[in-house]
Amino acid sequence: MIDLDNQTTLAVDLDALEKIAQTLSTKEVELIITDDKTMQALNAEHRGKDTTTDVLSFPIEAPFTEQSIFGMPLGSIIIAESYVKEKAALLKHSTQDELSLLFIHGMLHLLGFDHESDDGEMRGREKELIKAFDLPNSLIVRMEES
């Protein structure tokens, strides 16, 4: 289940995102869609990078047994509205497709994948999900092709 906090005017097909989430986890996920100023502040505070970014993931850091016993959520995904709109326009696909791509990216991070340090596992899983949900190329795939 997704707990959506849309702080913007971006249209969101929550059912489409729920299908993705249910494919990856049975745990609740918080999804926040926000503006650049908020995203920049979060990126500076949590990653030491004083710039805006497209997506941030914050897993709940509790032992797996506690998460199972107490039904704790998987974590939070925060997505910048501006990136969704800009990338969708640039790459000529819908904002929902771009939102789905960023959501997949964020979910994989919540599940422990890290494209900056793995040997392509996240990239491979992301490609599988893109194909399964008939989406255009993802963030990682676009970076890989450039």
CATH architecture of 2-145: 3-Layer(aba) Sandwich (3.40)
Q: What is the reported pLDDT for 100?
A: 96
- What 3-state DSSP class applies to 73? coil
Report pTM: 0.88
- In angstroms, the Cα distances linking 92 to 86, 95, 98, 131, 136 are 10, 9, 10, 18, 10
Under DSSP, the state recorded for 113 is -
Burial class (CB in 10 A: 0-12, 13-18, 19+), 57: buried
pLDDT for 47 beyond 60: yes
84-121 tens-digit pLDDT: 999 999 889 999 999 999 999 999 999 988 877 777 78
Minimal CA–CA distance to 123: which of 133, 115, 131?
Answer: 115
Domain locations in the chain as residue ranges: 2-145
pLDDT for 135 beyond 60: yes
More confident residue, 34 or 144: 34
Residue pair 57/141 in contact (Cβ under 8 Å)? The answer is no
